[in-house]
Amino acid sequence: MAISLKPIQEQVIVITGASSGIGLATARAAAKKGAKLVLASRNEEALEEIVEQINMEGGRAIHVVADVGKSEDIQRIADAALKDFGGFDTWVNNAGVSIYGRLEDVSEEDSRRLFDTNFWGVVSGSLIAAKQLKMKGGAIINVGSVLSDVAIPIQGMYSATKHAVKAFTDALRIELEEENAPVSVTLIKPSAINTPYPQHAKNYTKQELTLPPPVYAPEEVAYAILHAAASPKRDIIVGSGGKMMSSTNKYAPKLMDLAGETMLIDQQLREEKARHFEGSLHKPGRDGEVHGNYEGHVMKTSFYTRAALNPVITGAVVAAASAAAVALLGNNKLKQMAKNAAEQVK
């Protein structure tokens, strides 16, 4: 069965993790385009303020306080959409959190909680959404990560959750296609994004947390999500930095390992001593902000992603964006790592 998605302005869109970061950026962008919104997170106070602002500006939104680690809470989100809007057209599984710490240091309790949110939240949301969308058509959009393709040190458990999200999303897509269900299933794989992500993460290290460059604005992820809501896409990498990591890991995995050993730990940690440890893994944190406090350059758009979604953009622009990402990571270090990798292959 052919998949036909409505224009954004005609849609009801469900977004989990909508009280900050990518979820909030997506909610605001969708509201500006005329979509009706069902916004969910654990933070009731932040949700109320966000919904009030959207409605005051002429949009239409409701909120549901929900913990995506509990399937009964996700069912309440779907029920609210059905009650207020007669259902939904796109379901965005965005809620997620991270843990920074060496695998041997992270507790089993924290690891299980991380999987409850990042993986089981996506599973429950996708299956509940698919049950309704198989009857009328629509889109399921799961926010994974470039770490769905690449594992990095001190975010090893987070990487594991996002690998699991990718596997589940791919399998769900295949099964729905086999049924000829009119449902588009998209995996969004953001690079490092300037949201409050480091502040929300559980911190096992002794230093303040940050993001490895290049870093992109959350509005660029929102752009990709809304593109997928209106035009079926299998997967979308947001940021040429993420594309470079994914491709390097696929075609030169030892080189990617060397990057992890020599660069990626330091690039995730600030010099100052840690002041925040618990984050929002087990309870809601400070919400209501789209952007984080990344101290370096933030790329507002990704030419690579725009080109992937709009093929008329020339390959030269894509090459330029990739070159910029390499420059931000540090040419000399990459050259040295490539040399080391070549020597190890001999």
Question: Active-site positions?
Answer: 158
Helix or strand holding residue 142 (H, E): strand 138-143
Best CA proximity match to 117, nearest among 287, 288, 279, 281: 281
> Residues 316, 320, 323, 325: is their CA dihedral positive or negative?
negative
Residue 17 amino acid letter: G
In whole angstroms, what is the distance from residue 323 CA to residue 307 CA?
Answer: 15
Which residue matches tokens 């292959």?
A: 345
Cis before residue 214, ω within 30 degrees of 0?
Answer: yes
What are the structure tokens assigned to 26, written together?
A: 């997506």
**Distance separating alpha carbons of residues 299 and 217, to the nearest angstrom:** 6
Q: To which residue do tokens 């230093």 refer?
A: 207
Task: Kindly report the number of other CB atoms within 10 A of residue 309's CB atom.
Answer: 17
Give the Cα separation of 250 and 252 in Å (integer). 6
C-alpha 231: how far from its chain's center?
18
Q: What's the first-to-final CA gap in the chain, in angstroms? A: 51
Contacts of 134 (CB under 8 A, 6+ apart): 176, 179, 181, 182, 183
Q: Which amino acid makes up residue 173?
A: R
Q: Tokens 């695998």 — which residue?
A: 103
Q: Name the token pair of 152.
A: 């990095």
Report the run of H or E that residue 50 belongs to, with start and end. Answer: helix 44-56
Helix (H, G, I), strand (E, B) or coil at 193: strand
